[in-house]
Amino acid sequence: MRLAVTGREGQVAASLVEAARGRDDVEVVAVGRPALDLARPDTVLAALEAARPDIVVSAAAYTAVDQAEDEKDLTFAVNATGAGKVAEAAARLGVPVIHLSTDYVFDGAKDGAYVETDPTAPLGVYGASKLAGEEAVAAA
């Protein structure tokens, strides 16, 4: 199985590459900038085509939570539009996509752990952008 994981410079990609090291049944191809730049949606399909994945793991994101408040357009371009483009590219390639999100899509008011079916209520730009990304992925 060949995984293409977006966000080559991030923790998830590094962890998946490390976990696959020495295994014959899994190959991880970490893709990232400049070949795949979620702020430039025109790069997504070509980068994923080149990776030839069986599964796409969508882990790339704008993650500077506090700075996102000052960079709303870039945050939404990456976390919402970019995530949707990854899912659209995966669909076009006929492969499943696993999209990673965040607990910032919730307001933190619940006692205990959140589950996917809990109502969302992001409090800031970062959480709102990740929620928009979830919606874009679901619509792809």
What is the gyration radius of the CA atoms in the chain, in angstroms? 15
**Residues 16, 33, 57, 90: is their CA dihedral positive or negative?**
negative
Distance CA 70, CA 78 (A): 14
Distance CA 42, CA 40 (A): 5
Nearest to 6 by CA among 83, 85, 86, 60: 60
Query: Are the C-beta atoms of 58 and 79 separated by less than 8 Å?
Result: no
Query: Are the C-beta atoms of 63 and 37 separated by less than 8 Å?
Result: no
Active site positions, annotated: 126
